[in-house]
Amino acid sequence: MTNRQEKPVEPLKIRRHCAVLFNHSMYIFGGILDSGEYVNLMFENKKFFFKFNFKKKRYKYNFGNEEWKIIEQNNPPEPRCAHTCTIYNDEMYCFGGSKGVQKLKDFHKFSFSNFEWKEIKNSKGKVLPGNSAYHSSNLYNEKLYIFGGFDGTTMDIKDLFEYNFKENEWKLIETFGLPFYFQCASHSSILWEDELYSFGFNSNEIYCLNLKNFKWRLIEICGTITPPNRVCHSSIYYLDSMFISGGIYTNDSYSDLFEFDFKLKTWKLISNELPKRNKHSSIIYNNTIYFFGGTNFDSLNFRNSNSSELWKFELPKEIKKNIFENQNFEDCLINFVERN
């Protein structure tokens, strides 16, 4: 085991990264820089893995530069964006992603105890996952599920792969009922009970996959409120609800936050005061949603403009369904933001 080193840094202006929460810290891995498209080789010699510790900060404001660390990893995978990262048994599993025109299918695990990466090879299975980016991943019953994505040629990948951690075995699962016309890339999927709720197939519909019989069904929404069509948004689970933030449709980025109540099957607009973002990340910690990075597409100059901002949305300490108070977004990293 090598000595772990953490260096204070400013967070990068990145998009298409992954964010996970582990042991009171937010870890951000991968992504693409503001100055490069997917084919840019800027990531070639830089494997960025950022950590933000909530325990060491003042609760509301003034996160100092010393709170962001760049971690010197051991044997990290090659640079990538549009991958997925999932926590299982105190380790983080990273699958696939994009490196320019090259889509990836490698599978790695990261140990938080020694910051060591290890590629998972020699997996069993009659059919192994192919190249995939912009897919989703979820943990259910000690197994990892990888759904959808883009392999570099088609946006219509609807494959569902199941990975058994104990057996180191992949299985291609046959599913039923998902319409052929849906593009299953840049969507989001959230697990609730025994079902996988997928949103954002370039639409505002929710399709639900039962993970016991693997049948899809369209969720009938109660009420008249629905989010606009979108992809490249962020979604998280909290207290029987799915929270959707940002995203893009055509060339318009969104600044909204919606809540979908799994039990009531209703949408509610929580706020439209976020900065416009897509391809960002979000986590929830102590009743507060944190949003990091992403980009706002500049349609006038036809280019992306990445962000290194960390924003937060404080939920009430006692959440009563359909009642939210003190809905204020605050720019937490005021030292890192260049005001226009």
**DSSP calls for 214-225:** -BEEEPPPPSS-
Domain termination residue (choose one: 220, 250, 267): 220
Q: Are 106 and 138 found together in one domain? A: no
Q: Are 117 and 127 found together in one domain? A: no
For residue 162, how many C-alpha atoms fall within 13 Å in the half-sphere facing its CB?
Answer: 15
For range 13-32, the mean pLDDT: 88
Q: What is the pLDDT of residue 67?
A: 66
Q: Are 307 and 293 found together in one domain? A: yes
**DSSP calls for 267-310:** EEEEES-SPPBBS-EEEEETTEEEEE--EEEETTTTEEEE---E
Domain termination residue (choose one: 100, 121, 142): 121
Q: Are 58 and 149 found together in one domain? A: no
Residue range 147-158, pLDDT digits in tens: 999 998 876 789
**DSSP calls for 26-58:** EEEE--EETT--TT--TTTT---EEEEESTTS-
pLDDT at 223 over 80: yes
d(CA 235, CA 241): 10
Q: What is the pLDDT of residue 234?
A: 96
pLDDT at 40 over 60: no
Q: Which range of residues forms the domain containing residue 174?
A: 122-220
Q: What is the pLDDT of residue 303?
A: 66
Q: Are 73 and 126 found together in one domain? A: no
pLDDT at 338 over 60: no
Q: Are 175 and 278 found together in one domain? A: no
Residue range 45-88, pLDDT digits in tens: 234 566 766 766 532 223 333 467 777 788 989 899 999 999 99
Q: What is the pLDDT of residue 56?
A: 62
| CATH number of 9's domain | 2.120.10.80
- Reported confidence tier of residue 182, pLDDT bands at 50, 70, 90: confident
Residue 239 structure tokens: 């207290």
Q: Are 81 and 157 found together in one domain? A: no
Q: Are 81 and 165 found together in one domain? A: no
Q: Are 267 and 189 found together in one domain? A: no
Residue 130 CB-density burial (10 A; 0-12 exposed, 13-18 middle, 19+ buried): middle
Q: What is the pLDDT of residue 241?
A: 95
Q: Are 109 and 52 found together in one domain? A: yes
Domain termination residue (choose one: 121, 137, 170): 121
Q: Are 233 and 275 found together in one domain? A: yes
Number of structural domains (the chain) is 3
Which range among 43-52, 72-81, 183-192, 240-249 shows the weakest confidence by mean pLDDT? 43-52
Residue range 87-113, pLDDT digits in tens: 999 999 999 999 888 999 999 999 989
User: Who wins on pLDDT, 332 or 103?
Assistant: 103
Q: Are 73 and 103 found together in one domain? A: yes
- Reported confidence tier of residue 321, pLDDT bands at 50, 70, 90: very low
pTM (two decimals) = 0.85
